[in-house]
Amino acid sequence: MAAGSAPRLYFLRHGETDWNVEGRLQGRQDIPLNALGREQAARAGRRLKDLLASAGLRPQDMLFQSSPLGRTRETLEIARRAMGLPAEGGAFDDRLLEFTFGRWEGLTWPEVCVLDPVLAAARGADKWNFCPPGGESYAQLAGRLAPWLTEQDRPSVVVSHGGVARALMRLIGNLSEQRAPVVNVWQGRVLVFSQDRFDWV
């Protein structure tokens, strides 16, 4: 299946964490949701319930897929409860994990610039293809997601991370390599991928 022919995907980014507030690079670190993050997850679930109803879809008929990290698991559980479903009921897939920042994880960007100024500048010059030391690039993340995307054959709810959303914007929405890594990925909202486009709703 070509990326552009994938069925509709309702994407939720995990809710806010304290590291989001502090501007720390999370990557694969298992940082929990904070209080606002839990509110955002519930808000996204309520919005998703309305969206599915308007599309003639029932929440209980949807496939729910998630990154296995704690912050995405909790977002999934809270959103499902807000939709009137049991908290449990998602499939966890390692391919939906956030890309890793390697040795930069836990640092703020100003701290990275002090620690590795040359590499920080290189990332600024080509954010899509740059691979942090011991980490993963957006291009590598997109390569990991492409086989997962070809397997999608029905409308699905996907709970994952900002980097994953940006890679899907490139794969499905044909966003450029320059634009995709810098677009905002909101918490507490629903990102709908359909055919060759994506929309925040």
pLDDT at 5: 57
As given in the structure block, the two tokens for residue 142 are 């997109």
Q: How far apart are CA 60 and CA 90, in angstroms?
A: 11
* Predicted pLDDT at 43: 98
pLDDT tens per residue, range 76-88: 999 999 999 999 9
Domain parsing of the chain, residue ranges: 3-200
Judge whether residue 4 has pLDDT over 70: no
Residues 6 or more apart whose Cβ sits within 8 Å of residue 183 = 166, 169, 175
Q: Give residue 2's pLDDT.
A: 43
Place 196 in a pLDDT band, splitting at 50, 70 and 90.
confident
Q: What is the pLDDT of residue 195?
A: 84
44-89 per-position pLDDT tens digit: 999 999 999 999 999 999 999 999 999 999 999 999 999 999 999 9
Largest CA distance in the chain: 52
Residues identified as active-site: 14, 98
pLDDT the model gives residue 114: 98
Which candidate, 68, 71, 69, 70, places its Cα nearest to that of 91?
68
* Euclidean distance between CA atoms 201 and 192, whole angstroms: 7
pTM, entire model: 0.95
- Both tokens of 24, joined, read 């720390």
- The CATH number of 3-200 is 3.40.50.1240
- Cα–Cα distance, 158 to 64 (Å, whole number): 6
